[in-house]
Amino acid sequence: MTGAADRDAELVARYLAGDTSAFDSLMRAHQDRVFGICLRVLRDREAALDATQETFITVFRKADRFSGHSAFSTWLYRVAVNTCHDSIRRSRRHATEPLPEWNDPGDPRSGDAIAAADLRPTVETALSSLPEEFRAAVILSDLEGLSLQMVADALDVPLGTVKSRVFRGRRLLAGLLGNPEGLHDPQIGEHHA
């Protein structure tokens, strides 16, 4: 494991032994990245703060199950992603949102570039409209800078699946941002696990 992973493992051990300063160190070391993941996934600051808190509560309550065979951060990010997805599912049960306007994008052949641009979503909006599994992979890889192997560990899927999800997620994102080619997914990379 890396130096950071070793340090995390040591902090977890100290926390389990009753050293509450280790709790504070672990939180400070990872809180921003966990919040970043949650904010990107949920797109709501308060919900992201809640999810961040819930993630850490879950992880610390189950810290005795941390084996140390994989990085603490990987486990933490997995819990964060799952917590966010749970939050989204709960929200969907309680709210029905209208389809965004850009779900019906301007016809690029119309030549009305201004009208098409007005309907184009922001990067954040486009990112949020990616399929859940693509979005998580893109966020962890391209926004949080995790290695593909770490993303695979965090999402608990094979490395090839992560490669495919990141590739196709970017492709779809580009499509949502105005490149119509990206909206046609030829299932590239599904086989290259």
Shortest Å distance, C-beta 192 to other proteins: 6
In this structure, which long-range contacts are made by residues 148-152, counting pairs with CB atoms below 8 Å and at least 24 apart in sequence? 150/71, 150/73, 150/74, 150/77
Cβ distance 155 to 140 under 8 Å?
yes
Burial class (CB in 10 A: 0-12, 13-18, 19+), 175: middle
Closer to other proteins by Cβ: residue 68 or 189: 189
Closer to other proteins by Cβ: residue 113 or 192: 192
Shortest Å distance, C-beta 32 to other proteins: 5
Closest CA to 43 of 162, 123, 147, 156: 123
Shortest Å distance, C-beta 157 to other proteins: 16
Closer to other proteins by Cβ: residue 69 or 83: 83
Closer to other proteins by Cβ: residue 6 or 22: 22
Q: In 4-153, which ranges are E strands?
A: none
Task: Give the residues lining the site for other proteins (CB under 8 A).
Answer: 20-21, 23-24, 27-28, 31-32, 35-36, 39-40, 44-50, 52-54, 56-57, 60-61, 87, 90, 93-94, 123-124, 126-127, 138, 142-143, 163-164, 166-167, 169-171, 173-175, 177, 179, 181-182, 188-189, 192
Shortest Å distance, C-beta 112 to other proteins: 21
CA–CA distance, 86 with 79 (Å, rounded to integer): 10
Closer to other proteins by Cβ: residue 6 or 16: 16
Shortest Å distance, C-beta 188 to other proteins: 5
Cβ distance 42 to 51 under 8 Å?
yes
Cβ distance 123 to 139 under 8 Å?
no
What's the distance, CA 59 to chain centroid?
Answer: 17
